[in-house]
Amino acid sequence: MNAPEIKHLNLFAGLEKSSIFALLKIFNLYVITIMIAKAIKVKALDNYSIFVWFSDGVQGSVDLNHLAHKGVFHEWDKNNLFTQVHVDNYGAIAWNDYIDICPDSIYLQLKGLTFEQWQQQNQKQYASNQ
């Protein structure tokens, strides 16, 4: 039997990192958490590009043209949906309730890093919080 798909699970939305670790400690939970900067604002640009601002000051434009007209992203052309991009309540870069993109991948692309490179650069910070 397959587990049901969970679209979003963000129990800690809106909490500061120190608060999250305090809650985990209170409940004696030890988990590996990866917290890349939060997307705080996003704007649609021409030709399926977006401009994103992150909480740590990183900002820039990202070309999403490679996704246009594929799978669920074909919906971008209906009713100017692409122009309705926003940061949703879960922190995702979203267009509606079923089309969204993980902001972490956009952040890493703007920084020019792979996840492994980012993890290596931030290993000391997260090791101190374990």
Tell me whether residue 34 is exposed, middle or buried, using C-beta atoms within 10 angstroms of its C-beta: 0 to 12, 13 to 18, 19 or more.
exposed
> Tens digits of per-residue pLDDT, 50-66?
999 999 999 999 999 99
Res 4: pLDDT: 42
Number of Cα atoms under 13 Å in the Cβ half of residue 34: 12
> Tens digits of per-residue pLDDT, 9-46?
444 455 555 555 555 555 555 444 455 789 999 999 99
> Tens digits of per-residue pLDDT, 60-87?
999 999 999 999 999 999 989 999 999 9
Q: Which of 78, 106, 109 is nearest to 91 (CA)?
A: 106
In whole angstroms, what is the distance from residue 113 CA to residue 119 CA? Answer: 10
Confidence tier at 118 by pLDDT (50, 70, 90)? confident
Tell me whether residue 64 is exposed, middle or buried, using C-beta atoms within 10 angstroms of its C-beta: 0 to 12, 13 to 18, 19 or more.
buried
pLDDT at 129 over 70: no
pLDDT at 99 over 50: yes
Confidence tier at 125 by pLDDT (50, 70, 90)? low
pLDDT at 124 over 90: no
Go through the domains of the chain in sequence order and give each one's CATH number.
37-120 (3.30.2020.10)
